[in-house]
Structure 1
Amino acid sequence: MSDCDLTPDRLRDHAGPLLLVPDAVLAPDGPWEGHAAVVAGGVFRAVGPAGKLEREHPHLTPLRLPGHLLLPGFVDAHHHLTQSFGAALAFGEPSEIFRRVWVPLEGALDEEAVYVAAKLAALESLRGGFTTVAEAGTRAPVDVELVAAATRDAGIRCVLGLICNDDNDGDGTGDTGAMLAEAEKHLARYAGEELVHPSLAVSVPEAATDRLLTRTARMAAEAGAIVQMHVNEHLAAVERSLVRHGLRPLEYLHRLGALGPQLLAAHATLLTPREVGLLASTGAAVSYNPVASAWKGNAVAPATTLAERGVRFGLGTDGTRGDAFRLADAAEFAQRIAYGLATGDSSCGGGWTWLDRGSRGGADAVGLGARTGRIAEGAAADFLLVDATAPETALSADLPWELVRRANRDQIRAVFTAGRLRLWQGWPVDWDGPALVARAAELAREVRLRAPVVRAHPVSADAWAVRP
């Protein structure tokens, strides 16, 4: 077939399994030219040289994709799906804004607003090349099934966190037993689902009792799930832990036995050499969130050091913007500015590091390493078809670097999750994306009016008007 024959109907309605023949497949060890993939039953049934697969599957009509790349879908290792109505409220704000912005905003969401906000965030993520998101848990006073339903309906894979805080006030009076019972129900509720994968979440270590931190770590490990937790995100969080426990957050978790492969530590921007060693020795994972550091943080996680020390980590947006290529670019750029310039490191991990951590490494960090994040036989068919003929990549001599520094999300022609076409040229193929965006705009205005949000700075237009 010619390039003009590449249509959503051909990809969505093609009878039987798909035999995709792109110009190149981005495999775990780099781009493979002249390779193809067979997709059936939601997984990659075979990946290998195109001629070999065509001979082995003579009953399949090859879908030839000249000028296109087959890439694994990206994994957003840290998201807050129900914060999408307030994304711009974080602009120009100092760190530790969760008390002033996110808690009141999510508290003002009703059931419809939660569903629409989460589905809007899922749509943005799919448009940006993410096929999996790790939802860190909503504070909205609703059943998290609304978030699960939104991601299912959007067609994105979701690691769904349930916030299990039992000591928000720091007085130890929370009902730990009831919270642990809810956690157990959550893990059982979504066990075995195709697109929704349960996880537990604790906002920050000091929001939970020792008993809860220990028990949730054990429960998640036994269930093959993860515990998502904001750790060492800001100076204030580290200082609170030092005052309360005499230990930094990661040291405290290690003392409790809660630091292990089940932990996904979001941000981890302020790490001592000892803490890097604890992460490496216990197998805990990190979500490196470079855009969040730039927008509202006070430090950048030492991701290149983590990579060299063998620490598991993925890339997360923290809900800033659902654009995987820009996230990969930010991941390399932040390392260059924060560490590379001072040491003369002009590579800072190389382009391949950030593509790998944005896909395979991210899948591993969120507990789905055996399921997604790579183009390989037996893996879930979560992938992108990317137009490589755009000016940004047409002359490529180093594809991984080009994809990190120059590729754009408008080059993503198709997004597949679990073997199904979900988006074509940026919009859903089986539900009304523009209608959702329109409704989200209406609801967002209503929610922002009733939410008691407190900003430290005026919006940019007002600030410009009163400039000296």
Structure 2
Amino acid sequence: MAILANARILTMDPTLTEIEQGWVQVEGDRIIALGAGDPPAGDVQDMGGDLLMPGMVNPHCHMPMTLFRGLGEDVDDRLFRYILPLERALVTAEVVEVGARLAALELIRGGVTTVADMYYFEDRIGAVLDASGLRGVVGQTLANFAAPDHATPDEGFARLDALADTYKNHPRITASAAPHAPYSTGLPTMTRVAEWAAAHGLPVQMHLAETEPELKWAQDTHGCSTVEVADRAGLLTSALIAAHMMYPTEADMDLFAACGAHVAYNPRSNGKAGRGIAPITALRARGVKVGIATDGPMSGNTLDVFSQLAPATMFQKIAGRSRGMLPCVDVIRMATIEGAATLGLADKTGSVEVGKQADLIRISLADPRLHPIYDIYSMLTYATLPSDVRATMVAGKWLMQDRHVTTLDTAKALADALQIAHRFKAKIVEIDLHS
């Protein structure tokens, strides 16, 4: 049992309770009490006036793609020129594990306590999350092309079944199906995914309405929007976490709200790709739950949610031509409790409440950059950096204290990643020579 005392507490509970100076009592993996003023007797840990708040929830990520970070940044066709050839030639289970371990370090250091990942060899990613202590949703990618870990849909579903079996009763890790996107998966496989998810009671992650070519594919192939294709497959349910949602129609957004599907908003990734601004304000006005995500580090470069917060609201202000669009308090909701809701985990994490998992971050308020604090939500949205996160706790266990990650070997993780990067560099030279 531990009592985290002398802290400013941001609960993100339904009434947005704030405690100027208080304490949180943790027993095992849960929060059992909290209050203002002096703490009860016990194992008191002095937080030194720092901020305690829920850990950040990242509802869309490709963790192993840390190894692709910064590659071909200004090349318009980098996906087909570099990324796909590199994946086909070099992405193995070992590479996935090395990239995921580097990502886990970055997530912990950036105050992320829950992450939803979709990539290949997700059993290895689950193992990294397990060892690191993070909470996560691991999504086995399914596609109609030969992927690094499966050549056919049947092989992909076999991997998905094994993933579900492995994490069936895990306290922190949930398996999920992850059809890549409508155009790269196809209606028959998407329908099979919907049936599988319903039978197993597990979530589905998918890129949806992300690109203009995707919209054209849906219209040319099915005579409807890409969201309607997903609906025909039976995927528009409360189990769906749809990444991006850049180009939904008004009817698509109404359909999303009616079905209870969720959205992962990737502001930095979308902005870097030059795709425009997702209609997040319109989606949330309809009651759609939206979390703020990083996307993969190839696309958004960073895996901490703090780096997404200012762009998340700025883009909505630009689109709405108003300073009042997507207020800071809503941004922090989306980064915590609303993000947890997109993953179906709001009953476990996303707020500091009695009975919930002790997924907490400690943020130092010492830097002059953060003061004066008139509005804690504004400070977090516009001024806080991931380096301000002093400690990260998941399920009552400190994964980082005083910026030192205790569950992973930082030096080894970085050395392993740089070794893989040398292989990638050699392949890039080969590609450039033959193009």
TM-score between both structures, scaled by the size of structure 2: 0.90
SS of the residue 1:66 aligns to: coil
Displacement after TM superposition at 1:278 (Å): 0.9
Structure 1 residue 453, shift from structure 2 partner? 8.7
Return the offset for 1:236: 1.0
Q: Which runs of 4+ in 1 moved over 4 A?
A: 174-179, 451-455
Deviations 1:389-428 (A, max 9, x none): 2212231011111110111112111011111111234331
Partner of 2:194: 217
Alignment correspondent of 2:28: 41
Aligned position for 1:133:
115
Question: Within 1, Cα distance between the matches of 2:153 and 2:415?
Answer: 41
* Mapped contact 2:108–2:405 kept (Cα < 8 A): no
Is the 8 Å Cα contact of residues 415 and 423 (structure 1) preserved in structure 2? yes
State yes or no: 1:31 paired with 2:27.
no
1:292 is aligned, of 258, 261, 269, to 269
For 1:340, the equivalent position in structure 2 comes to: 320
Map 1:295-334; keep pairs closer than 5 Å.
295-319=272-296, 320=300, 321-334=302-315
Structure 1 residues 374 and 224, CA, compared in 2 at 3 Å: closer, same or farther?
Answer: farther
Q: Cα offset for 1:125?
A: 1.4
Distance in 1, matches of 2:346 and 2:186, equals 30
Mark the CA change 1:364 to 1:117 in structure 2 (over 3 Å): closer, same or farther. same
Q: Is the 8 A contact 2:194 2:233 kept in 1?
A: no
| Deviation of the 1:452 alpha carbon | 8.5
**3-state SS of paired residue (2:352):** coil
- Give, as a single letter, the amino acid of the residue that structure 2 aligns with 1:267: H
Distance 1:45 1:111, change over 3 A: same
Once the two structures are superposed, the pairs formed by residues 64-463 of structure 1 within 5 Å of their partners are 64-94=46-76, 97-107=78-88, 108-138=90-120, 143-165=121-143, 167-168=144-145, 176=153, 179-319=156-296, 320=300, 321-337=302-318, 339-341=319-321, 345-450=322-427
Q: Which letter does structure 1 place at the counterpart of 2:141? A: I
Contact kept, 8 Å, 2:82 with 2:431, in 1: the verdict is: yes
Residue 18 (structure 1) aligned with residue 5 (structure 2): no
What is the CA-CA distance between 1:347 and the residue it aligns to? 2.0
Task: Could you tell me which runs of 5 or more consecutive residues in structure 2 were left unpaired when the two chains were aligned.
Answer: none
Residues 258-301 of structure 1 deviation map (CA, whole Å, 9 limit, x = unaligned): 21111111100112111111111110101100001111141221
Q: 3-state SS of the aligned residue for 2:370?
A: coil
Aligned CA-pair RMSD: 2.3
Counterpart secondary structure, 1:396: coil
CA contact (8 A) 2:122 2:163 kept: no
Cα separation, 2, equivalents of 1:87 and 1:26: 33
Identity in percent = 27
For residues 30-65 of structure 1, give each alpha carbon's deviation from its aligned partner in whole angstroms, at most 9, with x where no partner exists: 5322332111211212233344x61xxx3x132232
Letter in 2 for 1:268: M
Gaps of 5+ in 1: 1-16, 459-468
Distance 2:181 2:201 in 1: 21
2:209 and 2:246 in contact (8 A); partners too: yes
Q: 1:72 and 1:452 mapped to 2: Cα distance?
A: 44
